[in-house]
Chains A and B, each alone.
Chain A
């Protein structure tokens, strides 16, 4: 099988499974919503007089990071049932195709959760997103790609271990520091109404982060998939 078509097949399989069960989306979406609510209780932005311009970037990124961990985790946990991992490893294609397929599916899941969550969090703050929407979409998409790349690799690593649920956040969160920092900073500039020129470099850096770990994933996935 050509690697590209193999990757697309694996991605399509994950999407089909998700469309039938809606497990990943439902749990990640409601978890994201809960994070927003807890956030509002914890900081009480309204009485502090803080608007979305000031705290929106933080809210968006904490929500994205934590809710994405759920869907990333699920991505390989579903393969553990009935030993599908072994079947994936036996796929007559390059292991990197499995990585790329999983990565694409995870990336789409992260975006699918963020698509409704972003307007909802803006709504909680009474903030009008329409002016900053293109910039915000760009920032979230690029950083979500980097986060998903590292997350897919670590999800496959942690699913091999005894308590994978505990391990993934421990592995992923410190290593993903750069995307979180660049994402928050770019989002803040974007929400403040600055032009793309002000945060273009940050987006480019996040794209580099994504590229580094996509290449690392392609090179290393073979060793992760091995029995």
Chain B
């Protein structure tokens, strides 16, 4: 590992040490607020509480995909592999949180809408996005070299993100106006205590995302230095 990479590694470790206790405190506070402080929603009852995890997961997933987009552009512009490592890490986290959205959504929808799944604009967009970025991850595994993976994945990351508004818009046209409105997802018309809890959960998930991103980037850097070592001493890999 070069001196530069070493410094980066140290910085990431510092960030992790700072973020880990913060996430622990915030997560405990969030759980306490969601299960102890916030009252039941009038019509939906207890199941509405899933939204305190569902919506922040969706936000973090989109944040992840945006980071993929930005880091991909930065990689193609600067050719620094660090940006590719960032994009890869963010894509994995985006796919993970997107999966959480796709699992928690139906759990909520079954008692409230009476169906596990409906081809509603937001649901469909989330599903298609998940598929786009799963394809991004598969593409990475199929490349023939590290540099090639970085380059092709960057192209895919940019195209995939450009596609997001188009997909959302197309699905909206496809479904027309869905009769059921998410009241609890907008933040408007929420009880102040619900809104505060919701904002706390958003903050918690954002910090959690940053922590996981730092961890995943560091794993990526370790992977890289391992690959370098193996190249220098082929027997080390055996």
A226 within 8 A of B: yes
CB proximity of B155 to chain A, nearest CB, Å: 5
Distance from A28 Cβ to chain B, minimum over Cβ atoms (Å): 22
- In the complex the two chains form, is A223's CB within 8 Å of B128's CB? no
A178 to B168, CA, bound (A): 8
Rounded to whole Å, the gap between the CB of B10 and the closest CB of chain A is: 32
Least CB distance from A157 to B in Å reads 5
Closest B-chain residue to A213, C-beta based? B159
A154, A163, A177, A220: the one within 8 Å of B170 (CB): A177
**A220 contacts B159, CB within 8 Å?**
yes
A181 to B167, CA, bound (A): 9
CB of B162 within 8 A of CB of A161, answer: no
- Annotate B40-65 by CB proximity to A: 1 below 8 A, 0 otherwise: 00000000000000000000000000
Contact between A216 and B162, CB atoms less than 8 A apart: yes
Is there contact, CB below 8 Å, between A223 and B76? yes
Q: Which of A10-18, A40-48, A81-89, A168-176 contacts B (4 or more CB under 8 A)?
A: A168-176
Q: Which of chain A's residues have a CB closer than 8 A to the CB of B76?
A: 220, 223
**Interface residue ranges of B133-160 to A (CB < 8 Å):** 135, 138-139, 142-144, 148, 151-152, 154-156, 158-160
Q: Are B173 and A182 in contact (CB-based, < 8 A)?
A: yes
Which residues of A70-101 are within 8 A (CB) of B? Answer: none
- Bound together, the chains give a CA A202 to CA B173 distance in angstroms of 9
Q: Which residues of B contact A161 (CB under 8 A)?
A: 139, 142-144, 152
- The minimal Cβ–Cβ distance linking A27 to chain B, given in whole angstroms, is 23
Nearest CB in chain A: distance from B150 CB, A: 10
Give chain B nearest CB distance to A133 CB in angstroms.
25
What is the interface size of chain B, counting residues whose CB is below 8 A from a CB of the partner? Answer: 28
Tell me, yes or no, whether A20 is within 8 Å of chain B by CB.
Answer: no
Q: Is A136 an interface residue, CB under 8 A from the partner?
A: no
Q: What is the distance, in angstroms, from A116's C-beta to the closest C-beta of chain B?
A: 29
Most buried by A among B76, B135, B169: B135
Interface of A is mostly: helix
Per the bound structure, the CA–CA distance linking A116 and B143 in Å amounts to: 37
Note all chain A residues with C-beta closer than 8 A to B166: 178, 209, 212
Which residues of chain B are near A226, meaning CB under 8 Å? 151
Interfacial chain B residues near A174, Cβ < 8 Å: 128, 131-132, 135
- Chain A: interface size category: 20 to 34
- Min CB distance A53 to B, Å, is 19
| A224 at interface, CB cutoff 8 A | yes
Given contacts A163-B142, A167-B142, A226-B151, is CB(A181)–CB(B170) below 8 Å?
yes
A205 adjacent to chain B (CB < 8 Å): yes
Distance between Cα atoms of A157 and B171 in the complex (Å): 26
Given known pairs A161-B143, A163-B142, A170-B135, the reply for A178 and B169 (CB within 8 Å) is yes
State which residues 189-212 of A face B: CB under 8 Å.
202, 205, 209, 212
Confirm or deny: B32 has a beta carbon within 8 angstroms of a beta carbon on chain A. no
Q: CB-nearest residue of chain A relative to B154? A: A223
From B131, B144, B173, A181 is in contact (CB under 8 Å) with: B173
**In the assembled complex, which residues on chain B have CB atoms less than 8 Å from the CB atom of A202?**
173
Pair A224/B169 contact, Cβ less than 8 Å: no
Q: A223-B76, A226-B151 are in contact. Are A175 and B163 (CB under 8 A)?
A: yes
Question: B152: which of A160, A185, A205, A212 is its contact (CB, 8 Å)?
Answer: A160
Flag whether B116 is at the interface (Cβ < 8 A).
no
Determine if A157 and B170 form an interchain contact, defined as CB atoms under 8 angstroms apart: no
Most buried by B among A177, A178, A185, A213: A177
The answer, yes or no, to whether B117 is at the interface (CB within 8 Å) is: no
Name which residue of chain B comes closest to A208, CB basis: B166
Sample of 11 further A-B pairs with CB below 8 A, known A185-B173, A213-B159, A223-B151: A160-B152, A161-B139, A162-B143, A174-B131, A175-B132, A181-B170, A181-B171, A182-B173, A205-B169, A212-B162, A216-B158
Q: Which chain B residues have a beta carbon within 8 Å of chain A's beta carbons?
A: 76, 128, 131-132, 135, 138-139, 142-144, 148, 151-152, 154-156, 158-160, 162-163, 166-167, 169-171, 173-174
Nearest 4 pairs of A and B residues by beta carbon? A178-B170, A174-B131, A161-B142, A181-B170
